[in-house]
């Protein structure tokens, strides 16, 4: 297939935690607010003079210093972020909007503040609570916290206009971005997709890590380019897979998987598009922050939600995506020492095989996979197993 016009540009924007578009927006007087979790409503960080930046640590090697503060039995993602902060990688941020989702990330937020990893006079770190289930009183609680601990602080520290009109404007821009990413992702449903899983990973990730106003024109052009793009005559992949799990902001993970012959047709993981790129539908009758809080709580697929209906929702979402995107199998991945996915991954992967009938691979991994020989071998073996399954199915028919 012909190379996408902006793919190299997008890859360059993802080489560091900061990038050219972030700096340009800040030069125009905008404030960058870092966040790490879907529990923090991205759209509220894009109100008025602020824009969201999903925090990453793409160049981190050793995590010796952060391990000293956090121990080597905590999530590598949280330690990598702290290491990047200690090395000065988040000095560009104007704030960090955190959520009390897990103890490891809480410690990361606290150390970013205590160790004074950012010396801007207006810099702040804020925390909001996250419930374990979705009930009316939980929605009210989250909405109240978003007002008191986020929007009010943004207004006080950064002079942000947090009126309903300003929030609605941010939602409109967010929804436009979501429509574009969703339309691009739909091409993966094709029998011979005109976009690879790696290309979509780059496109989706860059939409989280850049100011929306700066990246939107390039995403629009990329969508139009894809509408006329012709795939190679013969599919390059040997199997189609859905990837499910914790944070994947490492492009090498998808590259390694697709080099083994498996195309990622759906990304149901943190920093992916399911959830994350669904439009937010608002009405005129209810408090706008409450509506936004409810949207994120209902669409969240995080295993921190332990209510029975949420456990079922996560399994049904994976089953639905696998069917919609014509997957041959499912890969459950987990960051090493991630508390919540350490419970979810082994049980869910077993259930998806035994009760839903999907061939499933279950792995834990480092934050940055680089060229992991072990992962490559497991990916190759899984692809071969999926191929054998398809061959036997054809023989029976």
> pLDDT digit string (tens) for 32-68?
999 999 999 999 999 999 999 999 999 898 999 999 9
336 strand-pairing partners: none
Going by C-alpha positions, the residue among 54, 108, 40 that lies closest to residue 78 is 108
**Best CATH choice for the domain 8-165 from the list 3.40.50.11890, 3.40.50.1100, 3.90.320.10, 3.40.640.10:** 3.40.50.11890
Is 70 exceeded by the pLDDT of residue 246? yes
Is 70 exceeded by the pLDDT of residue 397? no
Q: Which ranges in the chain are annotated with CATH 3.40.50.11900? A: 232-396
Cα 281 vs. chain centroid, distance in angstroms?
21
| pLDDT reported for residue 391 | 84
| pLDDT reported for residue 370 | 72
- pTM for this model (two decimals): 0.97
pLDDT in tens, 304-332: 999 999 999 999 999 999 999 999 999 99
Compute the CA torsion angle 331, 337, 342, 343 (nearest 10 deg).
-160
- When pLDDT is averaged across residues 221-241 and rounded to a whole number, the result is 96
Architecture of the domain spanning 232-396? 3-Layer(aba) Sandwich (3.40)
Q: Which ranges in the chain are annotated with CATH 3.40.50.11890? A: 8-165
Q: Kindly state the tokens that stand for 250.
A: 């490492």
Q: Kindly state the tokens that stand for 320.
A: 């639905």
| pLDDT reported for residue 78 | 96
* Omega prior to 275 cis, within 30 of 0: yes
| pLDDT reported for residue 80 | 96
Residue pair 90/120 in contact (Cβ under 8 Å)? The answer is no
């Amino acid at each position: 297939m012909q190379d996408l016009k902006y793919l190299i540009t997008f890859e360059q924007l993802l080489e560091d935690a900061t990038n050219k578009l972030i700096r340009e927006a800040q030069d125009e007087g905008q404030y960058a607010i870092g966040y790490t979790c879907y529990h923090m409503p991205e759209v509220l960080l894009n109100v008025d003079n602020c824009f969201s930046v999903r925090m990453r640590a793409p160049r981190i090697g050793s995590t010796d210093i952060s391990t000293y503060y956090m121990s080597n039995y905590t999530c590598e993602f949280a330690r990598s972020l702290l290491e990047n902060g200690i090395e000065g990688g988040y000095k560009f941020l104007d704030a960090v909007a955190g959520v009390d989702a897990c103890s490891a990330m809480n410690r990361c937020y606290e150390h970013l503040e205590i160790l004074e990893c950012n010396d801007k006079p207006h810099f702040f770190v804020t925390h909001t609570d996250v419930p374990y289930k979705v009930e009316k009183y939980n929605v009210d609680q989250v909405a109240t916290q978003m007002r008191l601990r986020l929007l009010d602080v943004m207004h006080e520290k950064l002079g942000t206009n947090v009126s309903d009109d300003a929030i609605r404007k941010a939602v409109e821009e967010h929804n436009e971005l979501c429509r574009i990413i969703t339309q691009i992702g739909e091409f993966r449903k094709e029998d011979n997709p005109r976009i690879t899983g790696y290309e979509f990973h780059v496109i989706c990730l860059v939409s989280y890590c850049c100011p929306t106003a700066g990246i939107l024109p390039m995403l629009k052009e990329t969508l139009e380019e894809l509408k006329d793009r012709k795939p190679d005559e013969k599919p390059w992949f040997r199997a189609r897979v859905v990837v499910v799990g914790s944070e994947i902001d490492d492009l090498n993970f998808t590259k390694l998987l697709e080099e083994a012959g498996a195309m990622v047709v759906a990304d149901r993981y943190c920093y992916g598009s399911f959830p994350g790129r669904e439009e937010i539908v608002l009405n005129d009758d209810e408090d706008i922050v409450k509506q936004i809080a409810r949207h994120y709580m209902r669409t969240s697929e995080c295993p921190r939600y332990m209510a029975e209906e949420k456990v079922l929702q996560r399994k049904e979402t994976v089953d639905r995506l696998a069917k919609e995107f014509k997957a041959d199998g499912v890969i459950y991945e987990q960051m090493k020492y991630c508390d919540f996915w350490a419970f979810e991954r082994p049980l869910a992967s077993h259930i998806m095989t035994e009760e839903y009938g999907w061939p499933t691979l279950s792995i834990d991994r480092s934050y940055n996979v680089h060229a992991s020989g072990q992962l490559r071998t497991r990916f190759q073996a899984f692809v071969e197993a999926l191929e054998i399954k398809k061959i036997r199915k054809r023989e029976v028919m």
